[in-house]
Amino acid sequence: MDKILGILLASLITVYSFAVSAETFEHVELDKDRRSVEYSGPINKTINAIKERKWLGQTKDMNGGVVFTPYVNPQFGKNNTESGGAIMVTATFYLYDQPVKEALMVARQSQIPGFVEFYGYDSRELQMHIRMIDGDTFQSFASDTQYRSPEKLNTYKKVEYFNKSQYKSQLKTPEESGTWY
């Protein structure tokens, strides 16, 4: 009888811990033309937490990260321009320790509550919906439609440097490979 109660209790604890860890996210409808200044408090708080630090993606397949740098918007405050109400950052994306893409991104309130959206100024398809977990960690969705799939939530940790590629040292110079003529 004690074995049965023990197994039952263990299975209940397992089910409860799984239910607690399966975080669900909501989606709210916001004006598609919303501007940064309307939500500047949470946006500036997030930018101050992530700026000028190296953030490494923490998944098995991710070998790179991102560095955010505040961008001084020369059009800020000019309401007759598209970017007049935009708080912006420059995001430099890395593969291992090599920069592979730099993008000017506009910050605004995300349609996922608790997140701040960064989208590419030149390409709105480039998105990061970020929420800070603590001073050394943030989580991100790649679009506002991924909130239904918590497994697509990426975690980034603050690091001193990005990983070096393990393949660099295996490359041979033309002389070493014998292709030099």
Is residue 33 in a domain?
Answer: yes
Is residue 177 in a domain?
Answer: no
What is the distance, to the nearest Å, from the Cα of residue 72 to the centroid of all Cα atoms in its chain? 21
Is residue 132 in a domain?
Answer: yes
pLDDT mean values, one per 10 residues, the chain (181 residues): 52 44 75 79 93 85 86 78 82 92 94 94 92 94 89 92 72 63 52
Is residue 16 in a domain?
Answer: no
Is residue 37 in a domain?
Answer: yes
Is residue 18 in a domain?
Answer: no
Is residue 99 in a domain?
Answer: yes
Looking at the 3D structure of the chain, how many domains does it have? 1
The CA distances from residue 163 to 61, 166, 168, in Å, are: 13, 9, 12
Q: Which domain holds residue 34?
A: 26-164
Prediction pTM value: 0.75
**Residue 107 region by backbone torsions, left for phi larger than 0, else alpha for psi between -120 and 50, else beta:** beta
